[in-house]
A = this chain, B = another copy of it.
Amino acid sequence: MEVPGFRAAAVDAGIKYEGRLDLGIIFSKASCTPAAAFTRNLVKAAPVLDSIMLLSRSETFRAIVVNSGNANACTGQRGLEDCQKIRKRAAELLDCKEDEIFVASTGVIGAFLPMEKYLNGLERACNCLSDHGLLKVSEAILTTDTRPKVAMREIENRGSIIRLFGMAKGAGMIGPNLGPPQATMLAFVLTDAVVDQEFWQKSLEDAVDSSFNRITVDGDTSTNDSVIGLANGNARNKVIDGYGELSKVFSSALFEVLQSLSEQIVMDGEGATKCVRVVVKGAATEEEARLCAQTICNSPLVKTAFFGEDPNWGRILAAAGRSGAAFEQDRVEIRIGDVSVVERGMSVGKEAEEEAAKEMKKHRFRVEIFLNAGKSDYSMLTSDLSTEYVRINAVYRT
């Protein structure tokens, strides 16, 4: 997978473990228009703070430097200075300005970056940039993930092709809540489109709100979640600014890329054996629909029932009842797949539950909760809670 004008490379810098890719760089020959969204966690890692500061200062960007194994979070002034050192060195190596470089990190909170190893790795990476390097970067950013996550959409425009490529990482501490510049989920979106910055930013925010902000593995919003988009203009299309058909097609392709990455994250959630779409329908307000979906998606009892392939709708209904959404319990309907298991707040019967149990044997299934209290819907993706999740997190220090 390539996006014309972008070069990339990844190396094993030995940041945490020896012999695995852990430092990546994405570089654009041309100046790029940026768009970004960062964690709303009050505790923000140094690279997040550094990137927010840069966005207030620079209009164009050239590169993203990213490492796994160390989040550079809760590292105070030294953490920020390390970001600056990385940008300064990368700027020398890449012959660009230090304010045009995003730094991103994921891994253990509270440890300083091993700067000597980091800067050595950075130099090696800059020396092996390639048009085919993006997939290697998508490997270098992984932590407890078991596989790389990438997505590509191509848009035909007047006989030529505009490309939208995304990569992401994330398996645990996944409960993204990203806002405009202000997970440890990291996602990078690269396009060769010519875009208007304001439209690019708004499109990215909208797409993030409908994708990454609607997934959860453990509900734990990270200090490092970052989505960074770079548009290098290589495709020389008429500027995409929110007007006309191309803008619609572009926004929709952007959403598809982020949605695909979101699904890949949940499917690869720590210890996950299931990927469940939870849809709350007929809430009184959108906020209540969201609260209800989030509470169900993060309930340990619901998630362990998913793991057990048990159509235990009582746990779903109990979670809805404590969510803050208003409804009448005897008006609720619940469906698992196409099987109605609850009507008027009560069990449809044993046979229906047996059918639902079959549906839950699938790797992916859908749960719909009809509150019948209004017109607002909300949809989220969640994983199950398995013994393996606990094992991973009781022994692995993220």
A161 at the binding interface (Cβ < 8 Å): no
Which residues of A are in contact with B by a Cβ distance under 8 Å? 40-44, 71, 73-76, 108-111, 172-173, 175, 177, 218-223, 299-301, 304-305, 307-308, 310, 312-315, 317-322, 325-327, 329-330, 342, 344-347, 385-387, 389-391, 393-395, 397-398
A395 & B308 in contact (Cβ 8 Å cutoff): yes
Expressed in whole angstroms, the minimum distance between the Cβ of A330 and any Cβ of chain B is 6
Distance A228 CA – B67 CA, assembled complex (angstroms): 56
Distance A379 CA – B326 CA, assembled complex (angstroms): 29
B394 & A110 in contact (Cβ 8 Å cutoff): no
| Contacts A42-B326, A300-B393 given; does A74 touch B314 at CB 8 Å | yes
Which residues from B are CB-within-8-Å of A76?
A: 330, 344-346
Expressed in whole angstroms, the minimum distance between the Cβ of A211 and any Cβ of chain B is 19
Which residues from B are CB-within-8-Å of A300?
A: 218-220, 300, 385, 389, 393
A397 & B42 in contact (Cβ 8 Å cutoff): no
Instruction: Tell me which of B40, B41, B391 contacts A318 (CB under 8 A).
Output: B41
Which residues from B are CB-within-8-Å of A317?
A: 43, 74, 109, 223
Which residues from B are CB-within-8-Å of A177?
A: 322
| Contacts A220-B319, A322-B177 given; does A305 touch B42 at CB 8 Å | no
Which residues from B are CB-within-8-Å of A387?
A: 387, 390-391, 394
Expressed in whole angstroms, the minimum distance between the Cβ of A3 and any Cβ of chain B is 33
Whose C-beta in chain B lies nearest to the C-beta of A322? B221
Which residues from B are CB-within-8-Å of A74?
A: 314, 317, 329, 342, 345-347
Which residues from B are CB-within-8-Å of A219?
A: 299-300
Distance A75 CA – B344 CA, assembled complex (angstroms): 10
Which residues from B are CB-within-8-Å of A395?
A: 308
B318 & A220 in contact (Cβ 8 Å cutoff): yes
